[in-house]
Amino acid sequence: MTTENEWLADRFEEHRDHLRGVAYRMLGSLAEADDAVQNAWIRFSGADAGQVENIGGWLTTIVARVCLNMLRSRNVRREELGGLPDPLVSAESELQPEDEAVLADSVGLALLVVLDSLTPSERLAFVLHDVFQLPFDEIAPMVERSPAAARQLASRARRRVRAANLRRPDRDLARQRQVVDAFFAAARNGDFDSLIAVLDPDVVLRSDFGARRPVAPVIRGATAVLGQALIGGAIPDTRLHPVLVNGGAGVIVTRRGRPFTVMGFTVAGGKIVEIDAWAEPERVRRITAGVVTP
């Protein structure tokens, strides 16, 4: 016989992956997303869920409110700190169902960076309406606005996303991997012409070295990125391990057997248009934990 607690746990697990996807888009942090989902479980387990007609919608509302409070409690936005959102790193052959849920609707790093520039209310309205199709009548109470005002929040956010002119990645993962492999081969060989051939003229490089290091500027343009690639290619004792970073081709760079850097690539039109790199040791250790590398 199923107890009430078991029934609640089963209902919650049915929605966990969806809730984690909502929280990840809202927060850009896997650890915070898991905290938000856990907070929702605590509230759900103590509520009279039998009186709730739409459990999925109710849980989505709870997670969204928790995330909104977490965003509002941040002293400054991540974009002002210069940091990158957490990447979702997985082995190419071992993408888990829960990760697929988080990555649904092509949640690229570039989009998360743009979302970090929004106000908490704008972000909630955009994520819930444009990504998860919640009506503004349901979003309005969460941001303490009218439905019309909630619509305006999402509209402002949408303009910011469109203005960013995000490039849609090539869908062929094998082709992405070929381009990334060519990039590293050229960097290690100091092959200027081959590097230029795989870099989009307007390529963007973003790096995150953690709070203890000065904020690294965003580097734009093939020539500037090429210089950084040649420097990186000269670092001794490093190995490259192919992984997926938010569903696209990426690598874990190890040095003397330890994770050193995580790099994610956006490949569009057969060229690299964006590179994201995480190099803070503790963060690299955390985001690569459990990832099997060849």
Which domains, from first to last, does the chain contain? 4-86+98-163 (1.20.140), 173-288 (3.10.450.50)
Q: Quickly tell me which residue has 């081959």 as its tokens.
A: 194
Residues of the chain whose pLDDT is less than 70? 1-2, 4, 48-52, 75-82, 93-107, 211-216, 231, 233-234, 292-294
**Closest alpha carbon to 44 in 83, 16, 2:** 16
179, two tokens: 């381009």
- List CB contacts of 99: < 8 A, sequence separation 6 or more: 88, 90
Quote the CA–CA distance of 265 and 246 in Å, as a whole number: 9
* Rg of the chain over all Cα atoms, to the nearest angstrom: 20
**Of 121, 94, 101, 272, residue with least CA distance to 194:** 272
Q: Can you read off the two tokens belonging to residue 66? A: 């928790």
State how far the Cα of 132 lies from the Cα of 105, in Å rounded to an integer: 9
Give the whole-angstrom CA distance, residue 126 versus residue 128: 6
CB-based burial label for 188 (10 Å; 0-12, 13-18, 19+): middle
CA-to-CA distance for 273 and 8, rounded, in angstroms? 45
How far from 37 is each of 18, 61, 64, 257, CA to CA, in Å?
A: 10, 11, 10, 34
Cα–Cα distances in angstroms (integers) from residue 139 to residues 68, 78, 129, 204, in the given order: 12, 24, 8, 34
CA 18 to chain centre: 15
| pLDDT number for residue 152 | 97
Q: Could you tell me the CA-to-CA distances from 1 to 4, 8, 51 in Å, in that order?
A: 10, 14, 21
The long-range contacts involving 147-151, CB below 8 angstroms and separated by at least 24 positions, are 150/125, 151/125
pLDDT at 234: 64
- Cα separation, 290 vs 236, in Å, equals 25
Kind and range of the H or E element at 275?
strand 271-278
pTM: 0.82
pLDDT at residue number 230:
74
Q: Does residue 200 contact residue 192 with C-beta atoms inside 8 Å? A: no
pLDDT score of 11: 84
Q: Which residue carries 């898991």 as its tokens?
A: 34
Distances (CA, A) of 249 to 99, 180, 182, 209: 15, 7, 12, 21
